[in-house]
Chains A and B, each alone.
Chain A
Amino acid sequence: MTALRNLFSGREVLYFLLLAVLLVVVLPLALDAFRLNLTGKYLTFAFVALGLVLCWGYGGVLSLGQGVFFGLGGYCMAMFLKLEASDMASTARQTTPGIPDFMDWNQVTELPWFWEPFHSLTFTLLAVLVVPAVFAFVIGFAMFKRRVGGVYFAIITQAIATILTILIIGQQGYTGGANGMTDLRTLLGWDIRTDDAKQILYFLCVFLLLLCLVLAHLILRSKFGRILVAMRDREDRVRFSGYDVSGFKIFVFCLAGVFSAIGGAMFTLQVGFMSPSFVGIVPSIEMVIFCAVGGRLSLLGAVYGALIVNLAKTSFSESFPELWLYAMGALFIAVVLAFPNGLAGLYSRYLEPLLDRGWANVRSRAVAVPPAQEKTS
Chain B
Amino acid sequence: MSNAQDFILAVEGLTVSFDGFKAVDDLSFYVDPQEIRVIIGPNGAGKTTVLDLICGKTRATEGSIKFRGRELTRMSEHAIVHAGVGRKFQNPSVFEDLTVFENLEISYPRGRSVFGALLFRRDKAVLDAVHETAATVFLSDHLDQPAGLLSHGQKQWLEIGMLLIQDPELLMLDEPVAGMSVAERRQTAELLRTITRQRSVIVIEHDMQFVEDIAHRVTVMHQGRMLAEGSLEHVKNDPRVVEVYLGHRESREEAAHA
Contact = CB atoms under 8 A, between A and B. Distances in A.
* Binding between chains A and B: yes
B57 interface: yes
Contacts of B111: 223
B186 interface: no
Contacts of A230: 95, 97-98, 106
Contacts of A245: 78
Given A226-B102, A227-B106, A243 B97 contact: no
17 contacts: A223-B106, A226-B102, A226-B105, A233-B95, A234-B96, A239-B78, A240-B77, A240-B86, A241-B107, A241-B166, A242-B81, A242-B109, A242-B166, A243-B117, A244-B112, A247-B113, A248-B114
B162 interface: yes
Contact of B81 (A226, A233, A241, A248): A241
B87 interface: yes
Nearest to B103: A230
A233 B162 contact: no
Interface in B80-133: 81-82, 86-87, 89, 93-98, 102, 105-107, 109, 111-114, 117-120
Given A230-B97, A245-B78, 6 more contacts: A223-B111, A233-B95, A233-B98, A241-B81, A242-B107, A251-B114
Contacts of A240: 55, 57, 77-78, 81, 86-87
Given A226-B106, A229-B98, A230-B98, A236 B57 contact: yes
A58 to B, nearest CB: 10
B43 interface: no
B105 A223 contact: yes
Interface in A212-238: 219, 222-224, 226-227, 229-230, 232-234, 236-238
A243 B112 contact: yes
Interface in A233-270: 233-234, 236-245, 247-248, 251
A102 B106 CA distance: 54
B95 A219 contact: no
A106 B219 CA distance: 76
Contacts of B86: 240
A302 B166 CA distance: 37
A229 B93 CA distance: 14
B118 A237 contact: no
A241 B82 contact: no
Contacts of B113: 244, 247
Nearest to A248: B114
A241 B114 contact: no
Contacts of B105: 223, 226
Interface of A, helix, strand, loop or mixed by DSSP: helix
A237 B94 contact: yes
B76 interface: yes
Interface in B55-93: 55, 57, 76-78, 81-82, 86-87, 89, 93
A239 to B, nearest CB: 4
B162 A241 contact: yes
Contacts of B118: 219, 222-224
A240 B163 CA distance: 9
Contacts of B78: 239-240, 242-245
A11 B112 CA distance: 30
A237 B117 CA distance: 16
A248 B89 CA distance: 23
With a 10 A CB-CB cut-off, give which of A234, A236, A240 has the most chain B CB atoms.
Answer: A240
A54 to B, nearest CB: 12
A355 B3 CA distance: 71
Contacts of B93: 234, 236-237
A344 B169 CA distance: 45
A259 to B, nearest CB: 16
Contacts of A229: 95, 97-98
A234 B57 CA distance: 14
Contacts of A244: 76, 78, 112-113
Contacts of B96: 233-234
A165 to B, nearest CB: 31
A223 B98 CA distance: 11
A245 B78 CA distance: 9
Per CB-CB distance, the 5 closest pairs between chain A and chain B, nearest first, are A242-B81, A223-B120, A224-B117, A239-B77, A230-B95
Nearest to A6: B122
B182 to A, nearest CB: 28
Given A229-B95, A229-B97, A243-B112, A222 B82 contact: no
A359 B56 CA distance: 54
Nearest to B102: A226
A226 to B, nearest CB: 5
Contacts of A242: 78, 81-82, 107, 109, 112, 166
